[in-house]
Copies of this chain bind each other. A is one copy, B any other.
Amino acid sequence: MTAEMFPKEKTIDLRKKHIGPSCKVFFSHDPIKIVRAKGQYMYDENGVRYLDCINNVAHVGHSHPMVVKAGAEQMELLNTNSRFLHDNLVQYAQRLQATLPEKLSVCYFVNSGSEANDLALRLAWEYTGHKDVITLDNAYHGHVSSLINISPYKFHQLANAEQSKSVHVALSPDLYRGNYRQDHPDPATAYADDVNNLIQKAHEKGHKVGAFIAESLQSCGGQVIPPAGYFQKVAQHVHQAGGLFIADEVQVGFGRVGTHFWAFQLQGEDFVPDIVTMGKPIGNGHPMSCVVTTREVAEAFKNSGMEYFNTFGGNPVSCAIGLAVLDVIEKEDLQGNALRVGGYLMRLLEQQKEKHPLVGDIRGRGLFVGAELVRDRVKLTPATAEAQDIIYKLKEQHILLSADGPHRNVLKFKPPMCFSEEDADMVVEKIDEILTGTLNAPLSPSSFPSISLAFTDLILAVPVCRH
């Protein structure tokens, strides 16, 4: 079954003609046309199956029937805005709240992680009356203009990048490549002190800090896992300066880390952010997102006198879909699966690290895992071209993986949460084969545009996802 209307060449031509060229496709030398997907598998126009290790948006598995059914049934009944009362909205808010610490009780429903993070900034600005924002190096928080300003991952791409004077970039709490590493006696305090230094410098210039924002685990920034206790110490400094702590869970929330529902909870039970933003996995691909905050922050925002209305945010269809996603996570124990399969994947990758010098570091929590590739384990020279080569070779083997981080040398696993141990076996086995081949024939950057189509669909004994 395919849903192809045009031959692939025609699709590519029309895309070049009518779609903004800033929106890049995967594997631009030979992009993939996907026509259907199920669970952790995607299928191209010829029925070739790809194992999906990258689409964290399809959180409970592509086209999950329970989610599709909930969306379709609600679309048939009603899809309208939140100026009318609707039970889906309040029930969904109640269900989300139940996953969070009690003081995070007020929800704002929006359409994307970008809208969520922009609103989080507005809440913080209004509550604190302070304009400055502290962000982490290599952070990415979204594509609207206010968020480009606080996303070094993006603004470093600009030749003539002009950093806003009210934005301060703190050290990324990266224990592998950062300023303070595994061998440091107390990296949590050291990295938090850097934030405090920025606060003090801002004060010296007469500025005031309204918010510190960080992904609970940095994703585009290179799958960075901050040391436990770091957020508590940062929050202390930021609160003392009158600012708020915003935890961006857009990429890492909803049970992905396995042990907890939210990644900020990895820091310890004594840590509660002032604002949490959530996005990508929330609707399994449906455009929806949410900001949750405390009653105090919500009331201050209201008291500004400016109404907040979001046309599509919190509509009954989005909420029905959101509720179904929560149901599936629970029913299929996907958080438990993330813990088990993620742990298994980490162990397999650790074996690769022992075997191949190129594999410098394995880090992750649950089904959020990074493998950082380096040419030299002491100098940590990023193996950027090698990472690209692996990604392209995996694609030839019909496995979708990506490389990210500031040096694009971190293999990034964030698959649908129904990913299985057999899937983990398959991808790591292929990486092993590629790296073993590498030892015989050194990789070069020029090698990766050459795409072989010799491999067709791999008939492997991979059990299908539970749905």
Contact = CB atoms under 8 A, between A and B. Distances in A.
A132 B358 CA distance: 49
Given A11-B86, A18-B107, A113-B311, 11 more contacts: A18-B90, A20-B298, A22-B108, A23-B309, A23-B314, A34-B80, A57-B312, A118-B145, A144-B146, A157-B305, A158-B304
A121 interface: yes
Contacts of A79: 58, 62-63, 284-286
A146 B278 CA distance: 21
Interface stretch (A24-32, A227-235, A325-333): A24-32
A106 B20 CA distance: 6
Given A115-B112, A287-B288, A299-B21, A309 B143 contact: yes
A290 to B, nearest CB: 10
A189 interface: no
A67 B79 CA distance: 12
A138 to B, nearest CB: 15
Contacts of A284: 79
Nearest to A284: B79
B34 A309 contact: no
20 contacts: A3-B74, A12-B85, A14-B90, A18-B93, A18-B105, A21-B106, A22-B307, A23-B83, A23-B108, A25-B85, A36-B77, A58-B80, A111-B111, A112-B311, A115-B144, A122-B148, A154-B306, A285-B317, A287-B313, A287-B318
Copies in the assembly, this chain:
2
A71 interface: yes
B24 A90 contact: no
B24 A83 contact: yes
Contact of A22 (B85, B157, B279, B306): B306
Nearest to A301: B22
A182 interface: no
A438 interface: no
A273 to B, nearest CB: 17
Interface string A287-309: 11001010000110110111111
A20 B80 CA distance: 18
A72 interface: yes
A311 B279 CA distance: 10
Interface of A: 1, 3-6, 8, 11-12, 14-15, 17-26, 31-37, 42, 55, 57-58, 62-63, 65, 67-68, 71-72, 74-87, 89-91, 93-94, 97, 105-108, 111-115, 118-119, 121-122, 143-146, 148, 154-155, 157-159, 279-280, 284-288, 291, 293, 298-299, 301-302, 304-315, 317-318
B90 A15 contact: yes
Contacts of A86: 11, 33-35
Query: Which 9 interchain pairs have the tightest Cβ spacing?
Result: A14-B90, A72-B72, A18-B93, A22-B308, A287-B312, A79-B285, A33-B85, A287-B287, A111-B111
A143 B55 contact: no
Given A20-B301, A78-B62, A287-B287, A308 B143 contact: yes
Contact of A37 (B62, B78, B94): B78
Contacts of A114: 115, 144, 310
Contacts of A307: 22-24, 157
A219 to B, nearest CB: 12
A143 B62 contact: no
Contacts of A87: 3-6, 11, 33
Given A72-B68, A86-B33, A159 B11 contact: no
A106 to B, nearest CB: 6
A412 B47 CA distance: 51
Q: Which of A20, A78, A155, A280 has the most CB of B within 10 A?
A: A20
A167 to B, nearest CB: 13
A285 B80 contact: yes
